Amino acid sequence: MSALITRRAFLRSVVAAAVAGHPVLAADRHPRRLNFVLINCDDLGYGDLSCYGSPTIHTPNVDSLAAKGVRFTDFDTCAPVCTPSRAGLLTGRYAIRSGLTRILGPVNTTGIPESEQTIGEALKSLGYATALIGKWHLGHLPQFLPTRHGFDYYYGIPYSNNMGDRVDGRPNCPLMRGEQIIEQPAIQETLTERYTAETIGFIKQNKDKPFFVYLAHNMPHNPVSASERFRGRSKGGLYGDAVECIDWGVGQIVNTLRELGLERNTLIMFTSDNGPNLGSAGILRGKKGQVFEGGVRVPFVAYCPGLIPAGIVCHQPATNLDIFPTLIRLAGGKLPSDRPIDGRDITKLLTVPGASLPSKPFFYFVTNALQAVRVGKWKLHLGREDRLLPKPELYNLQLDIRESVDRSDEYPHIVTELKQIAQRFVSDLPGGAHIGGSDAPF
Ligand SMILES: [Ca+2]
C-alpha cells in the first residue's frame, strides 16, 4: 500500500470518526468527548495577526495553532458589528431571526429571546460544563444574561468596553461575576489577563468532564488598553500590545491543556466578531460596519491535534454561523429541527486538506437591511441608495479580493440571478427585513 493511500485511508477514518461524534478518540486510552474553547476578539481585523500578514503585530501563539492546525483565508462573520455578529455566532442563525440586528448598550432594555437556543444551551443539554468569559452583548438585564442562556459560569462585561458614562476618565461599564457586578467602572488594563486566568481556572475545575469555554475578549475594541508589562512591547503601538496580550493568553491556555493531558481532545478556535475599527483589514477594502470584505472577513484558526492534521490552509468560504452546527455535531448532538439553522457543519473543512463543500448563498446584513449576497466567487452589493453605493456592484472575489473592479455591466445575468436569490431569501424572513438601504447600526 502506498503512503498516499495510507494517508487517504487515515483521513477517511478521521472524518468518519468526527462525523460519528467521536473524533479519533476511540483510539485514546480514555475516550471522552471533545472540549471546546472558542476565542472571539472584538474588532480584530483580518490583517492584525502575524499569520495573516501583519508586519507589526507579533502573535506567535495563534500562529502556532495555525501551523499545527487549520487557518481559513475566506471566513466571514454574519454581520460587521458586535451584537448581530455574536447573535449569529451563538445561534447559528442570521441575527434578523432573533431580532438582535442592532448594537445594544446600557440604555437598551431588550436582549436575546427565550426562544433562541445558544451553543451554551445546546452543549449544556449534552452534559457539558459551560462558561462565558468576557463580552456578551446580547442584553444586560437579568433575563438576558449568559447565566440564563446556557452558561453555567459568567465573568465579564455584558456589552462593549466603551459603553456607559465616563467616571474618573473610564467608561462606567460593569464587570460581572455570575449575575453580580463586582467592579465598576471595570479596570480595563488587566482585563485580558484576568479573562485568561478565569478561563484557565474554569478548565482546571472542569477537567474531568466535557467543557465549553466561550472566551470573548473585550480587546482590541476602543478604548484599547494593556497592562504595564505588555505596554510598549509591540511594534504596532498600544493596539499591538493589546493584541499581543491576547496572543500571550492563547499560549497560557494551550499550556494548561497540555499539562492536564487535554490538548489532543480540545478544539481551540480563534476568531473575531467583525472587521477592524482601529486595526488593519490587510489588503481588503472597507472596515467595521461595512459589508465590504474588510468589515466581514475575519481570521479563523482552529487547533486540535487529535482531530485536525497540521498545516491546513483552507481557502473555502465558511462563516461564523457554521460554528453552532459544527460544535453540536462534534459533541454528538442533534440540531434543532423546529427552526431554520443558517450555518452548516464544516468538520470536513477543518479536518481534510483540500476539502470543499457545495457552494451556498451567504447574506450580508447591516441591521435589517440585506446589503450584499455571495454565491461562490461572486458577491453582489445590492446598493444602499446613497452616495457610497448608489447602484448594485458585482465583484469576483477569486480574482479581485479587494473589490476594486465592478463587473455588473459585463455579467448582467449573474446580477439578476443573485438579486433573485436575495429577494427569495428576504421574502422568507420575519418582517422588517429589506433589500438595500443604509440604516444606522444603533
Ligand atoms: Ca465588534
DSSP assignment string, 170-224: EE-PPEEETTEEEESS---TTHHHHHHHHHHHHHHHTTTS-EEEEEE--TTSSSP
What are 346's three cell numbers? 464544516
Residue of 41, 78, 82, 173 marked active site: 82
Ligand 1 centroid – CA 408 distance (Å): 31
Question: What is the percentage of the chain residues whose pLDDT exceeds 90?
Answer: 87
Q: For position 386, what pLDDT does the model report? A: 61
Mean pLDDT, residues 314-334 taken together: 98
Ligand 1 centroid – CA 99 distance (Å): 18
422 and 291 fall within a common domain: no
Residue 86 has pLDDT above 80, yes or no: yes
Active site residue 82: yes
Ligand 1 centroid – CA 215 distance (Å): 14
104 and 184 fall within a common domain: yes
373 and 343 fall within a common domain: no
Q: For position 146, what pLDDT does the model report? A: 98
75 and 344 in contact (C-beta within 8 Å)? no
352-371 burial: b if 16+ Cβ within 10 Å, else e:
beebeeeeeebbbbbbbbbb
387 and 260 fall within a common domain: no
Report d(CA 23, CA 45) in Å as an integer.
31
User: When comparing pLDDT for 442 and 234, which is higher?
Assistant: 234
Residue of 22, 58, 137, 149 marked active site: 137
Neighbours of 71 (CB within 10 A): 24
Ligand 1 centroid – CA 441 distance (Å): 12
- pLDDT band of residue 10 (cuts 50, 70, 90) is very low
Ligand 1 centroid – CA 296 distance (Å): 11
Residue 71 has pLDDT above 50, yes or no: yes
Q: For position 441, what pLDDT does the model report? A: 65
Mean pLDDT, residues 353-366 taken together: 97
Q: For position 124, what pLDDT does the model report? A: 98
Closest CA to 282 of 86, 73, 78: 73
Q: Is 60 exposed, middle or buried (0-12, 13-18, 19+ CB in 10 A)?
A: middle
Average pLDDT, the chain: 92
Ligand 1 centroid – CA 221 distance (Å): 7
Residue for grid cell 437591511 = 369
335-344 burial: b if 16+ Cβ within 10 Å, else e:
bbeeeebbbb
What are 259's three cell numbers? 499539562
Residue 258 has pLDDT above 90, yes or no: yes
Ligand 1 centroid – CA 289 distance (Å): 9
Q: How many residues does the chain have?
A: 442
Q: For position 22, what pLDDT does the model report? A: 45
Q: Is 346 exposed, middle or buried (0-12, 13-18, 19+ CB in 10 A)?
A: buried
324 and 343 in contact (C-beta within 8 Å)? yes
Residue 314 has pLDDT above 90, yes or no: yes
Is residue 277, in this structure, part of any structural domain at all?
A: yes
Active site residue 304: no
Ligand 1 centroid – CA 263 distance (Å): 29
Sheet with 211-216: strands ordered across: 180-183, 175-177, 153-156, 129-134, 211-216, 35-41, 266-272, 300-303, 70-72, 312-314
Q: For position 31, what pLDDT does the model report? A: 57
- pLDDT band of residue 438 (cuts 50, 70, 90) is low
Mean pLDDT, residues 8-26 taken together: 47
279 and 424 fall within a common domain: no
Mean pLDDT, residues 23-43 taken together: 74
Q: For position 29, what pLDDT does the model report? A: 45
Ligand 1 centroid – CA 87 distance (Å): 12
Is residue 441, in this structure, part of any structural domain at all?
A: no
Domain boundary among the residues 305, 324, 351 is at 351
Q: For position 6, what pLDDT does the model report? A: 45
231 and 97 fall within a common domain: yes
For 383-433, write each residue's pLDDT tens digit: 866 666 678 999 999 999 999 999 999 999 999 999 999 999 999 997 788
pTM score, two decimals? 0.93
Residue 5 has pLDDT above 60, yes or no: no
Most distant CA pair in the chain, distance: 71
Residue 1 has pLDDT above 50, yes or no: no
Residue 4 has pLDDT above 80, yes or no: no
207 and 291 fall within a common domain: yes
Q: For position 430, what pLDDT does the model report? A: 78
Domain boundary among the residues 351, 374, 392 is at 351
CATH code, 297: 3.40.720.10
Report d(CA 100, CA 149) in Å as an integer.
15
Ligand 1 centroid – CA 224 distance (Å): 13
Domain boundary among the residues 351, 385, 420 is at 351
Question: What is the percentage of the chain residues whose pLDDT exceeds 70?
Answer: 90
Mean pLDDT, residues 300-305 taken together: 98
37 and 69 in contact (C-beta within 8 Å)? no
The boundaries of the domain holding residue 142 are 30-351
Ligand 1 centroid – CA 274 distance (Å): 5
139 and 158 fall within a common domain: yes
Ligand 1 centroid – CA 285 distance (Å): 17
Q: For position 388, what pLDDT does the model report? A: 64
Number of C-alpha atoms within 13 angstroms, CB side, residue 316? 20
424 and 294 fall within a common domain: no
Q: For position 89, what pLDDT does the model report? A: 98
Q: What angle (nearest 5°) sits at the alpha carbon of residue 48, between those of residues 46 and 50?
A: 110
Residue 20 has pLDDT above 50, yes or no: no
Q: For position 422, what pLDDT does the model report? A: 96
277 φ, ψ to 5°? -100, -50
For 87-121, write each residue's pLDDT tens digit: 999 999 999 999 999 999 999 999 999 999 999 99
For 119-163, write each residue's pLDDT tens digit: 999 999 999 999 999 999 999 999 999 999 999 999 999 999 999
Report d(CA 363, CA 421) in Å as an integer.
10
